[in-house]
Amino acid sequence: MQRHRPGPDPFHDRGGSGCATAALPVEGLPNGPAPVPEPTPATRWPLLREHFLFAALRAEDFEQLMGSATEQRFAHGRTIFRRGDPGSSLIAVLEGQVRIGVSSENGKEITLGIVGQGELFGEIAVIDGHGRTADATAMGACRLLVLDRRDFLAFLERCPGVAVRLLQLLCARMRKATNVCESVALLDVPMRLARLLLQLVKEHGEPAGPRRRIALKLSQQELGNLVAATRESINKHLRLWEAEGLISMNRGRIVLNDVARLELLSGGPE
C-alpha cells in the first residue's frame, strides 16, 4: 500500500523557513482581550475627587482641572518648599504625610499641622501670590499632585462655586490656627497634649479593636513641636497617662484607651 504523503504546508515556503502570519479568528470566540479603558483623573485620584473642594464638580470640569497636574515624589525629610518661596502651585497629598511648620535661626521649631492623604496644602500663597507662609517637609515617602497656580486661578474664574468652597476651607484653617494660638498662650502642657491627641485621632484615627489609634507615627519631639513643648515634657506626660491606662504606646503609635478622661484633661469636649 502506498503511503499518503502530506502536501506542502501553506504557511511555510518550500525551503522550510517559517513566515509570519496573522492568527485567524475563531467564530464565536473573541479575537484577543478586551481593550483596557484609559484611566481618568477620577479613577487615578479618587480621594481628590471626593475632597470637599471638588466633590460637587461635574466630571468634565474635574478632568479639565486635573489634566495639567503633575505627580512628584519626595523621600522622608526632603523639603517640599520653604517659607518665603514663590507660591506657584497648589499641592495635594496622594500618599504619605507632610509637616507644615516654621523654625527660628537658633533651631527651634513649631509644627503648625500635618497634612495627610487626600488633603491639600499651599493654598494661601496660591491665592494672594505672595511667598509661602511656612515650610513643608515630607514625613516618610510622599507622592504629591501639583496644580499650577495659573491653571487653578483660571479654573476658579470659570467655576465660582469652587472659590466659595475654598473660602470655607480657609475659614476652617483659620479657626484651627486660632485654637492653636489660644492653647499655646493660655493652656498648660497636659491640656495642650490631651487636645492634640484627641485632634489627631479625629483626623488620622484608625480602629484598634474597640479603641482608636493615631495612624501617624510621630516622635515625641514631633509631638512637642505640635504643642510648643519640650520632648522631655511630652515623655513625662505620655508615660504617666500610659501607667494610668489612658493611652497605650506601641512602636511610635498611640492608642487612646479612655477618650472621656482625655477630654476632661483637655478642658472638656471640643
Gap between the Cα atoms of 224 and 220, Å rounded: 6
Does 179 reside within a domain? Answer: yes
How sure is the predictor about 249, in pLDDT bands with cuts at 50, 70 and 90? very high
Looking at the structure, do residues 97 and 129 belong to the same domain, yes or no? yes
Q: What is the pTM of this model?
A: 0.77
Looking at the structure, do residues 165 and 66 belong to the same domain, yes or no? yes
What is the extent of the structural domain holding 258?
Answer: 187-265
DSSP label of 256: E
- Provide the residue count of the chain: 270
Overall domain count for the chain: 2
Between the CA of residue 79 and those of 113, 183, 230, what are the distances in Å? 15, 28, 23
Looking at the structure, do residues 201 and 174 belong to the same domain, yes or no? no
Looking at the structure, do residues 192 and 123 belong to the same domain, yes or no? no
Does 10 reside within a domain? Answer: no
Looking at the structure, do residues 167 and 93 belong to the same domain, yes or no? yes
Can you read off the three cell numbers belonging to residue 216? 501617624
Strand partners, 145: 71, 92
**Distance from CA of residue 189 to its chain's centroid?**
29
Least Cα distance to 228 among 265, 195, 263, 251 occurs for 195
Task: Give the angle subtended at the CA of 174 by the CAs of 195 and 114, to the nearest 5°.
Answer: 55
What is the pLDDT at residue 166?
94
Domain with 206 in it: what CATH number?
1.10.10.10
Does 149 reside within a domain? Answer: yes
What is the pLDDT at residue 35?
58
**Residue 12 clears pLDDT 50, i.e. is over it:** no
Domain with 55 in it: what CATH number?
2.60.120.10
Residue 131, SS3 per DSSP: strand
Q: pLDDT, tens digit, for every residue of 80-130? A: 999 999 999 999 999 999 999 998 888 788 899 999 999 999 999 999 999
